Amino acid sequence: MAQKEETTEAAAATEAASQNGEDLDNLDDPEKLKELIELPPFEIVTGERLPANFFKFQFRNVEYSSGRNKTFLCYVVEAQSKGGQVQASRGYLEDEHAAAHAEEAFFNTILPAFDPALRYNVTWYVSSSPCATCADRITKTLSKTKNLRLLILVGRLFMWEEPEIQAALRKLKEAGCKLRIMKPQDFEYIWQNFVEQEEGESKAFEPWEDIQENFLYYEEKLADILK
């Protein structure tokens, strides 16, 4: 029984480390193992800049997103008054597919209310496209909030072969949401503006080998869905 429990704990730690984009080489260390197991399994995390290893793993625009069980959402909000003054804010959200996904959490915590006297231009840089439920929430928000403009740039398409997902993405477009796949330049923008840099130095963005090829792959799939 003890051996089975140890195996279960190691598996749990491996899953937690994988979801967080962490190194899996130190799981033989009892303290490291205990630390990973005790990580809260479901939460919404907010901040201004995300760790570089999270970005490199979670935002990579791979075709098969094995192990990427979170959604990372970087946002820029510009609220413009009738006089032309603009208030801007930025940051990021991450989830572990808890009760509220990152997209829903944005409207619950970052922008829970809209001032009718302001015009909102919001840009999201998301690791993957919304699920059907989140897309429906976004569609309803856009439909009832006429002073909101939303641009969503995604690294990957989530379950894009599912008819339910395809229909939800088309409804987003019909509601006025601009949805597009991230180009290599967009990943570089995230790196420069939303990723933690070493103190005193700023490392240049290093594109992965298939970044352009995967962008073209997803761009074609999205165009087919939205046409």
Token pair recorded at residue 74: 């970087």
Say how far apart CA 15 and CA 101 lie, in whole Å: 19
DSSP secondary structure, 146-160, as one string: TTEEEEEEEEE-TTT
The residues that bridge with 24 in the sheet, in sequence order, are none
Residue reference for tokens 């808890």: 98
Known catalytic residue: 201?
no
DSSP secondary structure, 166-180, as one string: HHHHHHHHHTT-EEE
Residues in the chain: 227
35-65 b/e with 16+ CB inside 10 Å = b?
ebeeeeeeebbeeeebeeebbebbbbbeeeb
Q: How many CB atoms lie within 10 A of CB 17?
A: 21
Active-site entry in 103, 198, 199, 201? 103
CB-CB contact of 110 with 75 (8 Å): yes
Which amino acids are annotated catalytic?
103
